[in-house]
A = this chain, B = another copy of it.
Amino acid sequence: MKKYLPKIGLFGLGTVGQGLLNIIQKSSLPFEISAIVDRSFQKKQDLIGKIPASSDPGLILDNQEIDIIVEVIGGVDLPLFIIREALDKKKNVVTANKFLLAQHGYALFSKARENGVKIGFEASVAGAIPIIRNLENIFWYEQIPLLEGILNGTTNYILTCMRTEKKDYPEALADAQRLGLAEADPALDINGTDAAHKLALLASLISKKWIDYNNIYVRGIGNLRINDISWTEKMGYRVKQISRYHLHDGKMFLSVEPSIIRPGHYLWDVEFENNAIVFQGAYSGNHMFVGKGAGSYPTAYSVLSDIMHIIQGNYNPYIANDCQWHYDYPSPIDDNENAFYIRLPVRDEPGVLAQITAILSENHISIASVHQDAPLETTDNPVDIIIVTHKCYRKSIHNILNLLEKSKVLQGEAVFLAMDEN
């Protein structure tokens, strides 16, 4: 008697879909790809071979024999339609789509639970790093007060490139695009939204509540300039775009923002397009996971491991009703204290520093250090004043930046960076 092989329907033969097909063809795995849906399937016949293919989602959705659908199309509208339909038809779902899950995960996970099927989403966060399964299974019983991650390879590449190759932001971005590390429209990477999608999924797993990514404090790297990178480097620090989950005094703080880290920080050496996640376990101590955050095969392998996880019938906390997600909301980050780096491009004229320090003092911001590379002669170009503060509330920083803008001292955009304490 022939052993029953689970049947997979694959949506999307782009980079990840092709990688997945390649791995499957080279391996001996206990399932079969029964159908492929791709809008330009006709141009990909050499890849597809004898597998039934179409541009019509019905080929997979209407096939009652298909147990698991894999969605690696990207975008939101079509995947949302497909995944809803698949869950309604009691098919398990594997997706790499963090955007979709961050936006519609609450409804989709609820639907999956009602229908007794699973959603695998390992590939949606940090590519090949198996952080979802490690949080969902191995560390599900651990208390995790702190998690920090470099969850976006594009911004990490740009920041590394600015530091090591002394390139300013636009050049570094262009390099990333040339290398295929940034989208033609890199807005979601640069402005922090992509990392916020991923952090929302991780924070939901840790807190066992549903976190809406819209409630995460997010700042991008788009206003950083080579000056910020070189000043922080002179001080012995590095700038990283860090996604952070922090439980402190019973309050949950969530942020994605460019942050200053010190030597010895776990994420110090995570460079270029690598991703990494560090977390504290109350019992098990500090953990770090480092790996490829993107790419055809790394992402495809995570999809494969989700497929196998479902086929093996392994534990899934949502279906097991160990996790009945309710919405939860992070506390406003303004309630949290930090030391800050501030760069102020100002007019090069007498009295400016006095004006600035007066405003800081009135707002109870205590200065740890001030730096200015004054030109020998006054100039019409703005000069940078760099201030590092002692710990203060973030709202004080917002206050003084507003005041400085009104006072017309600023000759360009002020930049501030939080100092990471960990």
Contacts and interface: CB of A to CB of B under 8 A. Distances in A.
A157 to B, nearest CB: 15
B287 A129 contact: yes
A269 interface: yes
Interface in A304-330: 304-305, 308-309, 312-315, 320
Interface stretch (A45-53, A66-74, A164-172, A288-296): A288-296
Contact of A298 (B128, B140, B283, B315): B283
A301 interface: yes
A302 B288 contact: no
A27 interface: yes
A287 B134 contact: no
Interface in A253-298: 266, 268-269, 281, 283-292, 295, 297-298
A283 B308 contact: no
B312 A297 contact: no
Nearest to A286: B291
Contacts of A301: 142, 281, 283-284
Contacts of A309: 137-138, 315
A163 interface: no
Interface string A5-43: 000000000000001000100010100000000000000
A301 B291 CA distance: 24
Nearest to A311: B315
A261 to B, nearest CB: 13
Contacts of A285: 128, 291-292, 295, 297-298
Nearest to A309: B137
A343 interface: no
Contact of A283 (B130, B266, B297): B297
A197 interface: no
A237 interface: no
A133 interface: yes
A263 to B, nearest CB: 10
A299 to B, nearest CB: 9
Given A314-B315, A315-B312, A284 B302 contact: yes
A198 B108 CA distance: 42
Contact of A300 (B137, B283, B286, B320): B283
A229 to B, nearest CB: 20
A364 B326 CA distance: 70
Contacts of A295: 285
B315 A141 contact: no
28 contacts: A19-B283, A23-B283, A29-B141, A130-B134, A130-B138, A133-B137, A133-B138, A137-B305, A137-B309, A137-B312, A137-B314, A140-B308, A141-B304, A142-B301, A266-B290, A281-B298, A281-B301, A283-B301, A284-B298, A284-B302, A285-B291, A285-B295, A286-B291, A286-B292, A288-B288, A312-B320, A313-B313, A313-B315
Given A134-B134, A281-B301, 18 more contacts: A27-B141, A128-B287, A137-B309, A137-B312, A139-B305, A141-B304, A141-B308, A142-B301, A266-B290, A268-B269, A283-B298, A285-B291, A285-B297, A286-B292, A287-B291, A288-B291, A290-B290, A312-B314
Interface of A: 19, 23, 27, 29, 128-130, 133-134, 137-142, 266, 268-269, 281, 283-292, 295, 297-298, 300-302, 304-305, 308-309, 312-315, 320
